[in-house]
């Protein structure tokens, strides 16, 4: 097997792994919206397949290190792939956690803020998908676009967090269920951060340089001004 064939196989494995994590996230959000306990439990069970995919990528990259004398650019790419695989696994864990919280919500009446959390989740999933595309296409412009959009997700999350807290105050009987939604919304914000990291790795592969500016972050009150950190 040629080196380029091995690299192509690694790229394909990351694309497959990322697609599987996207599917897990989509199904977890559907389970939340539809209050579908069976679907949520299927997502939880499906996390084992993601773990197996990450382990296989780890074995493949380790074998490549053993067989090849990697040049600087190739070494950079393989190291970035290892980090991306670890990040995708974390996204899968957050999808599983979302499904577990959806199991709890399925036993209760629908909450008003569920649709807003689902919208945040879909926006986050799009961010993740675009970061995977930037990696697959080695497209630095796309990677930078994804990286800068993280601020928008932060502002959406901050505004939604405030809205859910207001719902808790207005409906004390639903505090426990709204707390589950708060944690799910936080999961989505964290997935957005992970997607941004994948974009940073795509930038690193293409340019050979780490990101040379601090990531723009939303401000706690959800207003459009950015802070950097």
Give the pLDDT of the chain (229 residues) as one tens digit per residue: 787 888 899 999 999 999 999 999 999 999 999 999 999 999 999 999 999 999 999 999 998 888 877 788 888 999 999 999 999 999 999 999 999 999 999 988 889 999 999 999 999 999 999 999 999 999 999 999 999 999 999 999 999 999 999 999 999 999 999 999 999 999 999 999 999 999 999 999 999 998 877 766 666 554 445 444 4
Q: Which of 156, 143, 152, 158 is nearest to 195 (CA)?
A: 143
In contact, 204 and 140? CB cutoff 8 Å: no
Which CATH code of 2.60.40.10, 1.20.58.220, 3.65.10.10, 2.60.120.10 fits the domain covering 3-228?
1.20.58.220
Q: Would you give the distance in Å from CA 156 to the centre of its chain?
A: 16
Question: What's phi and psi for 132, nearest 5 deg?
Answer: -65, -40
Cα torsion through 222, 125, 100, 90, rounded to 10: -100
The chain-wide mean pLDDT, for the chain, equals 91
The predicted pLDDT at position 221 comes to 56
The pair of structure tokens assigned to 8 is 């192509």
The whole-model pTM stands at 0.90
């Amino acid at each position: 097997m040629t080196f380029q064939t091995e690299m192509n196989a690694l790229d394909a494995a990351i694309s497959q792994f990322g697609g599987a994590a996207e599917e897990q996230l989509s199904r977890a959000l559907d389970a939340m919206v539809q209050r579908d306990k069976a679907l949520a439990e299927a997502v939880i069970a499906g996390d084992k397949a993601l773990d197996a995919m990450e382990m296989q990528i780890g074995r493949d990259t380790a074998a490549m290190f053993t067989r090849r004398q990697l040049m600087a650019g190739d070494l950079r790419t393989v190291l970035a792939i290892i980090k991306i695989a670890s990040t995708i696994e974390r996204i899968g864990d957050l999808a599983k956690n979302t499904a577990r919280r959806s199991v709890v919500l399925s036993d209760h009446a629908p909450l008003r803020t569920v649709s807003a959390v689902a919208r945040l989740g879909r926006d986050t999933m799009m961010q993740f998908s675009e970061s995977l595309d930037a990696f697959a296409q080695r497209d630095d412009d796309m990677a930078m676009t994804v990286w800068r959009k993280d601020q928008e997700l932060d502002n959406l999350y901050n505004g939604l967090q405030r809205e859910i807290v207001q719902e808790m105050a207005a409906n004390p009987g639903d505090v426990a269920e709204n707390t589950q939604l708060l944690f799910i919304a936080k999961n989505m914000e964290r997935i957005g951060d992970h997607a941004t990291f994948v974009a940073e790795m795509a930038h690193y592969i293409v340019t050979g340089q780490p990101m040379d500016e601090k990531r723009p972050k939303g401000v706690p009150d959800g207003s459009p001004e950015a802070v950097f950190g």
